[in-house]
Amino acid sequence: MADSSESFTMATSPNQTPRRGDALTSSPGRDLPPFEDESEGLLGTDVLAEEEEDGEDLMGDDLERDYRAIPQLDVYERDGLDDGEDLEDMTASQRAEAEREMRRRDHAEGLGQGRMRIDLLYESDDEDEERPARKRRLAERAADGAAEYDEEMIESIENLEDMKGHSVREWVSMAAPRLEIYHRFKNFLRTHVDEHGHNVFKEKISDMCKENRESLVVNYENLAAREHVLAYFLPEAPAEMLKIFDEAAKEVVLSMYPKYNRIAKEIHVRISSLPLVEELRSLRQLHLNQLIRTSGVVTSCTGVLPQLSMVKYNCNKCNFILGPFFQSQNQEVKPGSCPECQSMGPFEINMEETVYQNYQRITIQESPGKVAAGRLPRSKDAILLADLVDSCKPGDEIELTGIYHNNYDGSLNTANGFPVFATVIMANHITKKDNKVAVGELTDEDMKAIVMLSKDEVIGERIFASIAPSIYGHEDIKRGLALALFGGEAKNPGGKHKVRGDINVLLCGDPGTAKSQFLKYVEKVSSRAIFTTGQGASAVGLTAYVRRNPVSREWTLEAGALVLADRGVCLIDEFDKMNEQDRTSIHEAMEQQSISISKAGIVTSLQARCTIIAAANPIGGRYDPSLTFAENVDLSEPIVSRFDVLCVVRDTIDAVQDELLARFVVASHVKNHPSNKENANEEADETCLPNTFGVDPIPQELLKKYIIYAKERVHPKLNRMDQDKVAKMYSDLRKESMATGSIPITVRHIESMIRMAEAHARIHLRDYVMEDDVNMAIRVMLESFIDTQKFSVMRSMRKTFSRYLTFKRDNNELLLFVLKQLVAEQATYQRNRYGAQQDTIEIPEKDLVDKARQINIHNMSAFYESDLFRINKFTHDVRRKLIVQQF
């Protein structure tokens, strides 16, 4: 055989006429130097085929030359031949059958190795052999000594990840990798099963088609487990990969439901559970054109607009329809000239044949709890297309998966010079972060711990003791806040009359009694809380306001604090400092739990289903016990009646309690000092809150999970409730309130009692409201009511309702309360007689026993031996029958 360089010289010598093809070779499209003819290298230059102007003649006089012997091509390789046996001659039909069998085997092997079957690329039937040109070309390559390889072979798993020096975006845009990705994802959708052996996507596609949706959610972790190469490519080149995924998903859906394309023209693959969550403020140039997952609160959203998807144009001169042009997100696609009349325009959009898609722009802002100290929350625009529109509303906290894009913004360039781009997130998947999601994220260990806690007999006391453990005392406030955090059950019979289930709490009292600290604690422990202050909050800031969108110039609705706190808690500090006009704006939100807007042509109603916990100071700063609550606080009766629990905090002077409080505060500072975290003082650990002896507080993380679980899973029913007791209680309270002229008791207070009973049942994870729950609700209601009375009527009222107030109270607690009253009377007597209080106060034992009998307590020995008696510096002198308190 002639040398290849020699053959190249011969083929390109000036004496020869260059030709595009040759009678001997039927492969003009090979990857060889141009116009090369191998037959010249093999057979010499004495045989030349004549060529006509319009191409070579394959059927002329030289037809038989194609079939003459070529020794170099007629030699078989020795490998794989078995010449040892004499085989019988096969008939033509047997030979055809054998070849068909071998072809089927080759197809099956090609599919098993992850390669594409040839008949998918080229239509072939059983009678037809492989294309002759292709066979001939392979034979010629074998004669040249070239390595045999299959050009149409689709990449298998080993070499799909070998990108041959290309970037991921370039690689997945090429035909062969694209086709392989398409088939792998299609195979994944068809064959992926869960741990129970169920076909996951068959059920998902079936559910999707039942609801006429066009979004198929694929869990990224499942994709990574089965097809790690696709999972690697997806975040790097999301736009290209998602396009391939959508086509594959559409084919799978249509194979199951052939006529589904009448309902949904496109199927969109939505990627959920992307492992890495980025904060909005941490998005950088590195994330551009990547698939990202971020979270935030939706602050505003535009209306749903039609966006051009596939455009057709009319030529105004010849009425020819140009197109289709597929519109991109970044720039407008326009035709250059009309192919019919060659005019340069003008063109107008053909409205009938143009295809549109839904378009909505939302703004998401960082969640208030995640913003670093001293920073303002950042916000980012996101674009929702197709069926994602209206999947969230202002106030929703969402997790957004999408592609981080940059686009040209004229206003930015005017301000900052040319090469500055605005960024936007093209949404792919949205999930709302609410209690359902939070409950879904609880582990089995969390569930076990929660159920174990609920079986504890004193779980109610443990939860009350766990509320704000860094604050000393104030058991009534802690109880009210615990009930508010768990909340009652909202009712809406027949969709006509809505009754709220949230419990509103008002803390009012002297300065320095930790009111704001309680609010800050609730903000930390609640799953969704918005904190605001009266002075810094206006009516529109609390409810909702209307502003003109800078892009579309249309009026849009922006959510205020109460709307953002939907299904959560809204905390308002300095409630008394609000303007009266601003305060009246939240009347509707507190009772009907909605906010009605009629501004700038927008008439609508927003949901504000939130618990409101407010803190207020009395008129003049300090609470005057000689006046009623209404006289002490500058709040109107309508707004006071909307609060279920009123907690009055008085800063009373009590030498023993003050000393205990001071010890607790000092110990708390010592224990929590940064330099003393490891070696905390033993004395500090011994410091215990009052009335929590023998009660272990619950860790705060577990308490948070317990509240989320109870609110989402437990819905107590009322059919076992003692209605007579509530009715009698209500009539007694009405009578007392008329006599004392304090806060008015209204029908709202019956609903308040029911809500608190449901909340107490929910604390115990009970399905029904028991008598204990009703008794606790009545006790909290009474304590709230009696605290708001004048000092003069408070004692008589406590005596009147003593049977309710003593529910679930430790006898020692009641006896201590009675004993402190006796001590206070004795101290007043000593001051009046001697002009100063003595260091020792002695109370006759008989006086305490008489008072104890009035509240049905007869055995006093347990009280004398209790820690409560000792901590309050009381001693029992058995010989003299006196109770002595040393100051």
pLDDT band at 794 (very low <50, low <70, confident <90, very high): confident
For 317-373, the pLDDT digits (tens) are 888 888 888 887 767 788 888 888 888 878 888 888 888 889 999 999 998 777 877
Q: Is 652 helix (H, G, I), strand (E, B) or coil?
A: coil
| pLDDT value of position 217 | 92
For 189-213, the pLDDT digits (tens) are 999 988 888 888 998 999 999 989 9
For 505-539, the pLDDT digits (tens) are 999 988 888 888 899 999 888 888 888 888 777 77
Residue 603 clears pLDDT 90, i.e. is over it: no
| pLDDT value of position 613 | 92
The Cα–Cα gap between 213 and 477 comes to 49
Whole-Å CA distances, 603 to 495, 556, 587, 599: 21, 11, 19, 7
Identify the CA nearest to 818 among candidates 863, 751, 878, 769.
863
| pLDDT value of position 355 | 86
How many residues in total does the chain contain? 887
| pLDDT value of position 483 | 92
Most confident of 80-89, 156-165, 606-615, 788-797: 606-615
Residue 144 clears pLDDT 60, i.e. is over it: no
Residues 670-691 have a mean pLDDT of 57
pLDDT band at 448 (very low <50, low <70, confident <90, very high): confident
Residues 723-748 have a mean pLDDT of 79
Q: How large a percentage of the chain has pLDDT more than 90?
A: 16
pLDDT band at 575 (very low <50, low <70, confident <90, very high): confident
For 246-277, the pLDDT digits (tens) are 999 999 999 999 999 889 888 999 999 899 99
| pLDDT value of position 232 | 92
Residues 862-866 have a mean pLDDT of 75
pLDDT band at 682 (very low <50, low <70, confident <90, very high): very low
Beta strands in 330-457 (DSSP E): 347-349, 355-365, 379-385, 397-408, 421-432
Whole-Å CA distances, 714 to 454, 498, 568: 12, 20, 17
Both tokens assigned to 524: 């930390």
For 425-437, the pLDDT digits (tens) are 999 999 987 666 6
Tell me what the pLDDT averaged over the chain comes to.
78
Residue 694 clears pLDDT 90, i.e. is over it: no
Q: Is 265 helix (H, G, I), strand (E, B) or coil?
A: coil
The Cα–Cα gap between 419 and 436 comes to 44
CB 542 within 8 A of CB 561: yes
Residue 78 clears pLDDT 50, i.e. is over it: yes
DSSP-assigned beta bridge partners for residue 349? 313
Phi/psi for 131 (5° steps) reads -55, 130
Report if pTM > 0.85: no
Residue 188 clears pLDDT 90, i.e. is over it: yes
CB 645 within 8 A of CB 783: no
Identify the CA nearest to 477 among candidates 449, 505, 498.
505
pLDDT band at 112 (very low <50, low <70, confident <90, very high): very low
| pLDDT value of position 469 | 86
Encode 11-36: b = buried (16+ Cβ within 10 Å), e = exposed: beeeeeeebebbbbbbbeeeeeeeeb
Q: Is 574 helix (H, G, I), strand (E, B) or coil?
A: coil
Q: Is 601 helix (H, G, I), strand (E, B) or coil?
A: coil
| pLDDT value of position 87 | 62
| pLDDT value of position 335 | 85
Residues 396-400 have a mean pLDDT of 88
Residue 126 clears pLDDT 70, i.e. is over it: no
Identify the CA nearest to 570 among candidates 531, 543, 605, 608.
531
For 487-505, the pLDDT digits (tens) are 888 888 777 778 888 999 9
Residue 45 clears pLDDT 50, i.e. is over it: no
Return the number of other C-beta atoms located less than 10 Å from residue 823's C-beta: 20
The Cα–Cα gap between 265 and 560 comes to 39
The Cα–Cα gap between 109 and 105 comes to 6
The angle subtended at Cα 264 by Cα 263 and Cα 267, nearest 5°, is 150
Identify the CA nearest to 868 among candidates 793, 817, 797, 795.
817
Out of 23-32, 223-232, 392-401, 604-613, least confident range: 23-32
Residues 735-751 have a mean pLDDT of 78
The Cα–Cα gap between 166 and 568 comes to 50
pLDDT band at 793 (very low <50, low <70, confident <90, very high): confident
Residue 844 clears pLDDT 60, i.e. is over it: yes
Whole-Å CA distances, 110 to 192, 375, 506, 733: 22, 60, 75, 86
Residues 390-400 have a mean pLDDT of 85
| pLDDT value of position 32 | 47
Residue 795 clears pLDDT 70, i.e. is over it: yes
Out of 145-149, 433-437, 574-578, least confident range: 145-149
| pLDDT value of position 118 | 46
* Helix, strand, coil tally for the chain in percent (to 5): 45, 20, 40
CB 612 within 8 A of CB 572: yes
pLDDT band at 244 (very low <50, low <70, confident <90, very high): very high
Residue 863 clears pLDDT 60, i.e. is over it: yes
Both tokens assigned to 616: 């207020």
